[in-house]
């Protein structure tokens, strides 16, 4: 039986063969037609997020607008406890958000440790478009957002507040339980009809983290990396492992050197397994999309899934894992 992964590998090899041969413009455009537009994103909450992105992609919009619109869906959803409004607070009961965005031209924007703003991804985009900087953090990021018309809002829902109070009483550690809620950071990659790739990543980070902690999600090259000539990758899971190995930059560089997206994600997970002694206690999931519209994924533990949307397909796929049992 042909597994999904071997199918993807074959797909990418087929394209590699195509690019070596002298292809006609007709064969190139049929590759475009098959694979663009496409959007992929992490976890179950990727399904509704992809729909919002698809609305823009299917109307020939830019992938940058698509990924921003896509991840705003879980950011605004109070039932999703790992992103934006309704996100899990830090140990002191405050919700602090991390997000970043990157486009095919290599432009990037990011916010970290941002409080009170429901849509950190849109603030990250403004940092990219309106400033000379890549990242704004904490109070400065909040002031920048408020100065640009964002509204200050209460992000801690009563449900999350009760859960935090219970956690405090029980004196448990960080909320690092693997796949426990089966939804987590949303990372999204999209290629539009013109072949332009963009990515976005947004999260409330590790539940009950130390106040001040910033994870991988707003770090370009860790939680997200896009190179318009190669492709992009995003990460979910315990950010510290991704930061120590520059995970998504590594995935994109491996793709640049000829690996398929799924093989590149696998290598980046293997790198973690070599470098980080207690990696078995953590989950990391990578998804990647190359410039040709071929996608792939890999994770440490079974249980990580991601949503895919193309003209012909709307589905959740399970990522292959390095460890075979949880």
Residues forming the active site: 185
| Residue 175 binds ligand SD4, judged by CB under 6 A | no
The whole-angstrom separation of Cα 77 and Cα 88 is 13
Is 70 a residue that touches ligand SD4 (CB under 6 A)?
Answer: no
DSSP 8-class letter at 69? H
CA distance 176 to 184: 11
Render 292-306 in DSSP notation, one character per residue.
Answer: TS-EEEEESSTT-EE
Report the residue number, 221 or 239, with the smaller CB distance to ligand SD4.
239
Residue ranges in 198-257 that form contacts with ligand SD4 under rule CB under 6 A: 203, 205-206, 215-217, 236-239
Q: Which is nearer to ligand SD4, 184 or 227 (CB)?
A: 184
For the chain, the 3-state helix, strand and coil shares in percent, each to the nearest 5, are 40, 20, 40
Q: What are the structure tokens assigned to 173, written together? A: 């550690």
Beta pairing, strands 108-114 & 135-137? parallel
Sole residue written with tokens 């995970």: 247
Give the span between the Cα atoms of 322 and 237, in whole angstroms: 14
Minimum gap (Å) between residue 208 Cβ and ligand SD4: 12
Local structure of residue 278 (DSSP, 8 states): T
Q: Is 35 in the site for ligand SD4 (CB under 6 A)?
A: no
CB 238, min distance to ligand SD4, A: 6
By the rule CB under 6 A, 12 interacts with ligand SD4: no
Give least dist CB 281 to ligand SD4, A: 12
d(CA 225, CA 229): 12
Q: Which is nearer to ligand SD4, 8 or 222 (by Cβ)? A: 222
Give the one residue of 63, 96, 185, 260 binding ligand SD4; rule: CB under 6 A.
185
- All residues at 6 or more sequence positions from 219 whose CB lies less than 8 Å from its CB, including other chains: 100, 110, 243
321 binds ligand SD4 (CB under 6 A): no
Minimal distance in Å, beta carbon 312 to ligand SD4? 29
Q: How far is the CB of 9 from ligand SD4 (least distance, A)?
A: 26
Residues within the interface to ligand SD4 (CB under 6 A): 184-185, 203, 205-206, 215-217, 236-239
């Amino acid at each position: 039986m042909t597994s999904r992964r071997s199918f993807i590998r074959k797909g990418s090899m087929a394209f590699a063969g195509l690019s070596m041969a002298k292809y006609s413009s007709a064969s190139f455009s049929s590759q475009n037609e098959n694979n663009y537009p496409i959007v992929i994103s992490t976890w179950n909450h990727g399904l509704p997020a992809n729909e919002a992105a698809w609305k823009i992609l299917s109307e020939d919009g830019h992938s940058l607008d698509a990924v921003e619109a896509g991840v705003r869906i879980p950011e605004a959803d109070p039932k999703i406890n790992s992103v934006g409004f309704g996100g899990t607070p830090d140990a002191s009961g405050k919700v602090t958000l991390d997000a970043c965005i990157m486009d095919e031209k290599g432009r990037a924007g990011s916010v970290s440790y941002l409080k009170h703003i429901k849509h950190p991804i849109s603030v990250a985009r403004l940092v990219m478009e309106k400033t000379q900087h890549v990242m704004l953090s904490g109070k400065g990021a909040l002031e920048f957002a408020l100065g640009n018309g964002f509204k200050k809002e209460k992000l801690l829902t009563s449900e999350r507040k009760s859960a935090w109070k219970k956690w405090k009483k029980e004196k448990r550690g960080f909320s690092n339980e693997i796949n426990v809620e089966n939804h987590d950071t949303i990372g999204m990659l999209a290629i539009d009809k013109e072949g332009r790739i963009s990515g976005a990543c947004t999260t409330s980070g590790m539940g009950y983290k130390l106040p001040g902690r910033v994870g991988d999600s707003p770090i370009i090259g860790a939680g997200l990396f896009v190179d318009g000539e190669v492709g992009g990758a995003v990460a979910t899971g315990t950010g510290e492992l991704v930061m120590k190995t520059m995970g998504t930059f590594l995935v994109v560089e491996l793709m640049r050197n000829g690996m398929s997206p799924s093989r590149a994600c696998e290598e980046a997970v293997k790198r973690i397994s070599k470098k980080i002694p207690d990696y078995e206690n953590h989950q990391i999931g990578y998804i990647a999309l190359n410039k040709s519209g071929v996608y792939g994924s890999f994770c440490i533990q079974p249980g990580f899934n991601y949503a895919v949307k193309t003209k012909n397909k709307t589905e959740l796929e399970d990522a292959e894992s390095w460890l075979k049992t949880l």
